[in-house]
Amino acid sequence: MADRVSSLADQFERHRPYLRAVAYRMLGSVSEAEDAIQESWLRLARRTPEDTEDLRPWLTTVVGRICLDMLRSRRSRREDYAGTWLPGPIEVTAADNTPEQEAVLADSIGLALLVVLETLNPAERLAFVLHDVFAVPYEEIAGVVGRTPEAARQLASRARRRIQAAKSEPDADLAVQRRVVDAFLAAARARDFSALLAVLDPEVVLRFDGGGRGPLARPTVVGSAAVAAEIDRGRQFAALGRPALVNGVAGIIVGPPGRVVAVASLTVVEGRIREIDIIGDRAKLRAVNLA
């Protein structure tokens, strides 16, 4: 019995990075992803499948179903959430990281895409994440969502169209992203309204997440003039902001040395900032790997 449990644990640990990647993309939360992984292990320990040679398909089904349940439950709980609920970043690093670190961050999923994934229904999100990100066959996805393979294909297709329509993918060139963020910070510190407008997309969106309470529990701000005015009022943001990489794209850490008050992810498209997501939820910041 002990040998069996030990063997299962070894196999599970080999699959843990994959399960974490699936759960994080499904849930947009580091802590919730870890909860889903823990529940997957408990189910494996309680009811081991007959075929233990390759546990990955079985674990994919289990963690997928757990994430579906968590997403459905979370939607009902968020009705009274003040401000905007934003995904929690998983990786925040200083802007002067090494090429080796950047190679790792290249595999990260940006917060902008996670925000779009939040607009999908749970089944669409699962079908897209499993098929388009992890190349899971539709036949396996069908078993997770309880539908036919063709229905699973349609779920992924609908999700794909909505994601493409959102145009949330940032410029691929990280150097361009950094130049725009540097110009944005310089304009904010100088209180140069014209310079701020120059780096903001006319339809830029500014979202806040303070955990549903506190000074960051604010409604979304839309439009370059309104966003520039909001940034100009946030003196602490400009004064304490420093460039960073947030989930592999250009962003800002806000806070004095040794302390993080907020993390901002900026989506730069065609040389201008199209989205700014400011996360001040302490629970999400605690779960982040800050380097």
Q: For the sheet with 221-222, list strands across it.
A: 221-222, 200-209, 272-279, 262-269, 249-254, 241-246, 91-94, 289-290
Residue 108 is predicted with a pLDDT of: 64
Would you place residue 105 in the very low, low, confident or very high pLDDT band (cuts 50, 70, 90)?
A: very low
Kindly state whether residues 236 and 219 are assigned to the same domain.
yes
Q: How many domains does the chain have?
A: 2
The residue with greater pLDDT, 286 or 26, is: 26
With cut-offs at 50, 70 and 90, classify the pLDDT of residue 80: low
180 and 57 inside one domain: no
Quick one: 186 and 257 in the same domain? yes
Report the alpha-carbon distance of residue 169 to residue 55 in Å, rounded. 33
201 lies in the same domain as 62: no
For residue 83, what pLDDT is reported? 75
User: Do 137 and 181 reside in the same domain of the chain?
Assistant: no
Q: Would you tell me the crossing angle of helices 56-77 and 138-145 to the nearest 10 degrees?
A: 50
Judge whether 254 and 185 are in contact, CB under 8 Å: no
Q: 179 and 160, same structural domain?
A: no
pTM, 2 dp:
0.84
Q: Is the domain of 150 the same as that of 10? A: yes
Taking 70 as the threshold, does the pLDDT of residue 148 lie above it?
yes
For residue 91, is it within any domain?
no
Is residue 174's pLDDT more than 80? yes
In angstroms, the first-to-last Cα distance of the chain is: 41
User: Phi/psi of residue 49, each to 5°?
Assistant: -65, 155
User: Does residue 93 form part of some domain?
Assistant: no
Express each pLDDT in 1-11 by its tens digit. 566 667 888 88
Percent above pLDDT 90 for the chain: 59
Domain that holds residue 219: 174-290
* pLDDT score at 212: 79
Tokens of 159: 């999700």
**Do 233 and 122 reside in the same domain of the chain?**
no
CA distance linking residue 127 with residue 53, whole number of Å: 25
Q: What is the mean pLDDT of residues 161-173?
A: 80
Do 201 and 281 reside in the same domain of the chain?
yes
Per-residue confidence (pLDDT) for residue 120, from 0 to 100: 94
Read out DSSP for 82-117? -S---PPPSEEEETT--HHHHHHHTT---HHHHHHH
Q: Cβ(105)–Cβ(248) under 8 Å?
A: yes
* Model confidence band, residue 278 (pLDDT cutoffs 50, 70, 90): very high
How confident is residue 103, by pLDDT bands cut at 50, 70 and 90? Answer: very low
Average pLDDT over residues 29-50: 89
Q: Is residue 41 very low, low, confident or very high in pLDDT (cuts 50, 70, 90)?
A: very high
pLDDT band of 260, cuts 50, 70, 90: confident
pLDDT of residue 92: 83
Give me the DSSP letters along 153-197. Answer: HHHHHHHHHHHHHHT-PPPS-HHHHHHHHHHHHHHHHHT-HHHHH
Same domain, 62 and 189: no
168 pLDDT exceeds 80? Answer: no
Looking at this protein, which amino acid is placed at residue 169?
E
Mean pLDDT of the chain: 87
Q: What angle do CA 268, 121, 150 make, to 5 degrees?
A: 110
**What average pLDDT does range 254-260 have in this prediction?**
85
Phi, psi for residue 274 in degrees, rounded to 5: -100, -30
Q: How confident is the model at residue 102 (pLDDT cuts 50, 70, 90)?
A: very low
pLDDT tens for residues 195-239? 999 999 999 999 999 887 777 778 899 999 999 999 998 878 888
Whether the pLDDT of residue 101 is over 50: the answer is no
